[in-house]
């Protein structure tokens, strides 16, 4: 009897090990399916992911991995936003991947910086504010603001300054939680946030 139980146990164990060794297929989104699912999003984010006003972020050209992550964060309320919770809470994991594939393949429309803010904005973007311990944005988001997909550093280039400023303030207050960005924003001066947000809108 004891031997039988042991036998059953060991075969169970070896099954578990084999299952764990099978490489998991990387989940993938279907951009065409995503387009069909994006109708409900278009009113705010634009039919092609370029929104009409700075109250709504552009999604066009954003990394798929980052978009899918944020949708999951809205759904779990890890990123607490009442408006997006309503839309994200009804999405399945596959819906999120499909929508992410659709928007990431769209071309972002270039924006412009306010000329009087561009010089200080560029300084903060490229070098941070060493006196206050603010890291250079370029170190993670790249010299052209395109981010790094594999590291889930989002693309910022061309994003509305209004939206960027809102997010920097949310990271500073802790309303939006991310260890890296909370550390960057906590010591930033309000004027520098405004300048760098404007510079980012002009990045392409
Ligand atoms: C009624 C307007 C509205 C609709 C419709 C809407 N969103 Fe949003 N979305 C917003 C707002 C506002 C934000 C910014 C939230 C914040 O400040 O955290 C946002 C943020 C996002 C973000 C995060 C972007 C980033 O750069 O971090 C993603 C991704 C997103 N929305 C995807 C979608 C998708 C996909 C749909 C459709 C299923 C959708 N949204 C529908 C208003 C909307
Ligand atoms: C150490 C790496 C790092 C540095 C340095 C950094 N960021 Fe980020 N940033 C990130 C990561 C990671 C995220 C995604 C965080 C999340 O999921 O909320 C992010 C997100 C953001 C977002 C939100 C984007 C969106 O679409 O919602 C903005 C805006 C931003 N960063 C601006 C900046 C600015 C401005 C600076 C420089 C003052 C900067 N970052 C420096 C890593 C970094």
Give the residue, by CA position, lying nearest to ligand 1 atom 31: 84
71 Cβ closer than 6 Å to some ligand 2 atom: no
Alpha helices in the chain (DSSP H): 2-21, 31-37, 39-45, 64-76, 82-88, 93-104, 115-127, 138-141, 161-173, 179-185, 190-202
**Smallest-distance ligand from the CA of 200:** 2
197 Cβ closer than 6 Å to some ligand 2 atom: no
Give the residue, by CA position, lying nearest to ligand 2 atom 8: 181
CATH class of 31-104: mainly alpha
Provide the 3-class DSSP secondary structure of residue 134.
strand
33 Cβ closer than 6 Å to some ligand 1 atom: no
Q: Which residues pair with 153 in a beta bridge?
A: 148
Mutation choice for ligand 1 from 87, 156, 157, 169, CB with most ligand atoms inside 8 A = 87
Domain 115-202 = CATH 1.10.760.10: yes
Atom of ligand 2 nearest to the CA of 73: 17
Residue 174 Cα to ligand 2 middle (Å): 13
45 Cβ closer than 6 Å to some ligand 2 atom: no
Residue 49 Cα to ligand 1 middle (Å): 10
Greatest CA span in the chain, whole angstroms?
83
Q: Do domains 31-104 and 115-202 have the same CATH topology?
A: yes
What pLDDT is recorded for position 4?
A: 53
* Per-domain residue ranges of the chain: 31-104, 115-202
Per-residue pLDDT of the chain (204 residues), as tens digits, is 555 555 554 444 444 444 445 555 567 899 999 999 999 999 999 999 999 999 999 999 999 999 999 999 999 999 999 999 999 999 999 999 999 999 999 999 999 999 999 999 999 999 999 999 999 999 999 999 999 999 999 999 999 999 999 999 999 999 999 999 999 999 999 999 999 999 999 999
């Amino acid at each position: 009897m004891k031997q039988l139980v042991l036998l059953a146990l060991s075969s169970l164990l070896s099954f578990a090990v084999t299952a764990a060794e099978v490489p998991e297929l990387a989940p993938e989104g279907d951009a065409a399916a995503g387009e069909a699912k994006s109708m409900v999003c278009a009113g705010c984010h634009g039919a092609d992911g370029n929104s009409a006003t700075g109250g709504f972020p552009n999604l066009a050209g954003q990394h798929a991995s980052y978009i899918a992550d944020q949708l999951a964060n809205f759904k779990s309320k890890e990123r607490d936003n009442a408006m997006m919770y309503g839309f994200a809470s009804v999405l399945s994991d596959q819906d999120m991947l499909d929508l992410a594939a659709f928007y990431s393949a769209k071309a972002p429309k270039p924006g412009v910086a306010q000329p009087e803010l561009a010089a200080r904005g560029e300084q903060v973007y490229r070098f941070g504010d060493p006196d206050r311990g603010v890291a250079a944005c370029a170190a993670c988001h790249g010299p052209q603001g395109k981010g790094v997909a594999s590291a889930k550093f989002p693309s910022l280039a061309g994003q509305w300054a209004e939206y960027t400023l809102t997010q920097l303030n949310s990271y500073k207050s802790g309303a939006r939680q991310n260890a890296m960005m909370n550390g960057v924003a906590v010591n930033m001066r309000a004027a520098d946030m405004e300048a760098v947000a404007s510079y980012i809108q002009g990045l392409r």
